[in-house]
Amino acid sequence: MQRMGVDTGGTFTDFVMIIDGVLHIAKRLSTPHNPSTALLAEVAIHTAPEILIHGTTIATNALLERRGAVTALITTAGFRDVLIIGRGDRPSLYDMDQTRPAPLVPDALRLEVNERTTFDQQIITPLVDADVEALFPLLEAHDVQSIAVCLLHAYANPTHEARIGDILRAHNPNWQISLSHQIVNEAREYERTSTTVVNAYVAPIMSHYLHYLATHLPDQTRLRIMASDGGSMGVATAQALPARTTLSGPAGGVVGAYAVATQINIRQIISFDMGGTSTDVALCDGGLPRSSGSAVGELPVRLPSLDIHTVGAGGGSLIRRDAGGALRVGPQSAGAIPGPACYGNGTIATITDANLVLGRLRSDAFLGGAMTLNTKRAASALFDVAQRINTDTIQAALGSIRVINAAMARAVRTISVERGYNPRDFGLVAFGGAGPLHAVHLAQELGMTRVIIPRYPGVLSALGMLSAAVTRSTTRTLQIEFMQLRAAQLNQRIAETTIELTAALLSDGERPESFGHSIYLAMRYRGQAFELDVPLLTNSIGTPQIDESTLHRSQQRFHELHQQRYGHANLTRAIEIAMLRHSMANATTPLPTTQISTRETRCTSVASVLAYPNDDTTAVMTAIHQREHLVPHEVIVGPAVITQLDATTVIPSGWQALVHDTLTLTITPV
């Protein structure tokens, strides 16, 4: 089957194609005005793929740049300010001048209806249709495009929400309607409201983009969209649940990084994805790091996702002097337009310019020689920075690299040290267009001794998308003590969720009978506010059924997980079950491997140049190698630079790279 993975980034759009069993890669400059332009241009020059899996930043950018649809919120009387109140927490405890982002829905469009249901499904104030109809003039006066409906306790009884949806659609079929019980069917009013509003805010943009893309792709090409949970979904699901795509591209990278590491029998990794605009890191301790929610621009999205931490640090990060006279890098980025100074249009120095001036990037080998970088323009931009901080160009370039490496090291410590993990116990899988440039220096900063560079690091996110399973998840709120729950009750709920998930997969054109079921119970000690997900079934084929013994064992498993996560457990304390989580997924597709016979003679460098591969101002002779010339079991000793079409790898002095059978590089201290 001919498949294509496409990852749209801030600077480049990456393509990985499997055509007649042969793997091909390509990169194009992204087209921010219409991301599909670059995608369709690449598709047009190949045999039409049967399946195209697309990681998109449409929803993410709309949220970060606040350019989504005009959105209204309809909620229960008395709860219109849930988005403003939030959790009442302080993200930065000692910051006395915190400014929270404005809500996606302005005050005038947070509307109320007089209705009320209880947590146990009772209707105590019936909904009156006329109350909903009375909102029509206001909605039309503000040219509302999308409406989020989130009523109190709709997760327990969605009758009123469903009725409001019917009334709105009947009045104006062009309104995009997001009902909370269909988006995130669980308790916690703020997270449920925020997620529903996020979905409504990006729905018209995503729907328009996917419709345009689907109608311009070849008829025989089936489009799937990468989801935040590391799986993919069909167009129908992506249009109904665009909030599932907020970590679309980064999720593909984590899937690809873990798959590459697994090929060489490494299962404890920290993925390090440095692109043009941002850096994404994730910790995989024997599996993908799954989470029940994420946040984009401080907006909670309570949908299954991979646990990914993002910082504004990339190859396009702008270098400047701040008001205090210090060197500052990012989070602003040059993006694809105008891009780094060395691309020929930009005038402000970036990290890419710094790497070029230091000789870590080859001006004649960028994108495999398809694009020539302007070294003089990069040096001029760095010289302007150097003058402002009273130093020379090389010092300014090295200082910029140190600053951005420190920012990325903090991100890695956030997902490791702050959670009780020692990064030295993990391998650093570096990818993205800029990841291999910084990987070894970042590892040195963190005390790590093993860096893994995939065969195609610059397009690994797109490659990971080819491996991703098709997934769909749902939840049911239970709110019951563990000792009161019986397997028969649980199986009845599982039967309901199975019907819901099966219908959703069928609407995407999938064959759900071949999908595996994973069942989790969200459990907590009585009095706790947050839960741990305890597995009951994992990837079980066929009709899912839970017996009493399996349910009973989950109690002990919860104690073990609580001890592991928090360092203590209370075997005598009552346990509550907050939610049932049910997901369905098909089998993942193994990543293709390239086997090349070994060569008796050692690979020789294609050049040797004066460069600054180490973290100091001493220029040293540095060997230049081409990645496509390397074969298994070869060893490249630093200082060296390895170039290829999609990325450049820097090996400083004191480190060496070993070529694995899969053509993955493992870089370790000499």
Residue 102: is its pLDDT beyond 90?
no
pLDDT-derived band at 638, boundaries 50, 70, 90? confident
Backbone angles phi, psi at 285, to 5 degrees: -105, 75
Residue 663 sits in the same domain as residue 529: no
* Domain co-membership, 663 together with 566: no
Residue 325 pLDDT > 80: yes
586: Cβ contacts below 8 Å, ≥ 6 apart: 469, 470, 510, 514, 515, 516
Provide the pLDDT confidence category of residue 593 given band limits of 50, 70 and 90: low
Q: Is residue 331 part of a domain?
A: no
Of 151, 185, 207, the residue at which a domain comes to its end is 207
Please indicate whether residue 127 or residue 338 has the higher confidence score (pLDDT). Answer: 127
Tell whether 91 and 147 lie within a shared domain.
yes
Average of per-residue pLDDT values in the chain: 90
Same domain flag for 515 and 580: yes
Contacts of residue 124, Cβ cutoff 8 Å, sequence gap at least 6: 116, 117, 118
Residue 186 lies in a domain: yes
Q: Are 636 and 555 part of one and the same domain?
A: no
Identify whether residues 551 and 634 lie together within a single domain. Answer: no
Q: Would you say residue 255 has pLDDT above 70?
A: yes
pLDDT-derived band at 564, boundaries 50, 70, 90: confident
- Distance from C-alpha of 469 to C-alpha of 31, rounded to nearest angstrom: 28
On whether residue 120 sits in a domain, the answer given is: yes
Domain boundary at 172, 207, 242, which? 207
Answer whether residue 598 shows pLDDT above 60: no
DSSP H/E element including 52: strand 51-55
Give bridge partners of residue 575 from the DSSP assignment: 525
Which one is predicted more confidently, 597 or 487? 487
Report the alpha-carbon distance of residue 423 to residue 124 in Å, rounded: 54
Residue 540 token pair: 């079980």
Does the residue 226 lie in any domain?
A: no
- Looking at the structure of the chain, the number of domains it has is 3
Cross-strand partners of 58: none
Predicted local confidence at residue 601, as pLDDT: 57
Give 488-512 pLDDT, tens digit per residue.
999 999 999 999 999 999 988 888 9
Mean pLDDT of 121-150: 95
State the average pLDDT over residues 216-225: 92
Is the domain of 504 the same as that of 622?
no
Same domain, yes or no, for 512 and 637? no
Q: Specify whether the CB–CB gap between 344 and 374 falls below 8 A.
A: yes
Question: 619 in a domain, yes or no?
Answer: yes
Let me know if residue 577 belongs to a domain.
Answer: yes
Write the DSSP string, 455-523: SSGGGHHHHHHHHPPBEEEEEEEEEEEGGG--HHHHHHHHHHHHHHHHHHHHHTT--GGG-EEEEEEEE
- Strand 110-113's sheet: what is its strand order? 110-113, 71-76, 146-150, 176-179
Determine the average pLDDT of the residues in 628-640.
90
Segment 61-90, tens digit of pLDDT = 888 888 899 999 999 999 999 998 888 777
At 602 the pLDDT is: 63
Q: Tell me: pLDDT of 573 over 70.
A: yes
Shared domain for 557 and 616, answered yes or no, is no
Statement: residue 452 has pLDDT above 80? yes
CATH number at residue 523: 3.30.1490
Q: What number is the average pLDDT over the span 14-33?
A: 85
Mean local confidence (pLDDT), 453-480: 91
Instruction: Please tell me the distance from the alpha carbon of residue 202 to that of residue 205, in angstroms, as a whole number.
Output: 6
Please state, in angstroms and rounded to a whole number, the distance separating the CA atoms of residues 40 and 348.
31
pLDDT tens column, 419-446: 889 999 999 999 998 999 999 999 999 9
Last residue of a domain, one of 207, 234, 252: 207
Kindly state the tokens that stand for 178: 């997001």
Domain assignment present for residue 138? The answer is yes
Arithmetic mean of pLDDT, 352-370:
87
Q: Looking at residues 527-541, what average pLDDT do you find?
A: 90
| pLDDT at 355 > cutoff 60 | yes
Determine the Cα–Cα distance for residues 226 and 15; give it in Å rounded to an integer.
14
Residue 478 shares a structural domain with residue 552: yes
CATH number, domain with residue 101: 3.40.50
- Structural domain span for residue 183: 64-207
222 burial level (CB within 10 Å; 0-12, 13-18, 19+): middle
- At 245, which amino acid appears? T
Q: Who has greater pLDDT, 334 or 164? A: 164
Q: How much is the pLDDT for 599?
A: 55
Asked if the model's pLDDT at residue 23 lies above 90, the reply is no
Both 203 and 95 in one domain: the answer is yes
Q: Is residue 7 in some structural domain? A: no
- pLDDT tens digits for range 283-321: 999 989 988 888 887 889 999 999 999 888 888 899 998
Q: What is the sign, positive or negative, of the torsion defined by CA atoms of 169, 170, 171, 174? A: positive
* pLDDT tens digits along 364-423: 878 777 788 999 999 999 999 999 999 999 999 999 999 999 999 999 999 999 888 999
Check whether residue 576 and residue 663 sit in a common domain: no
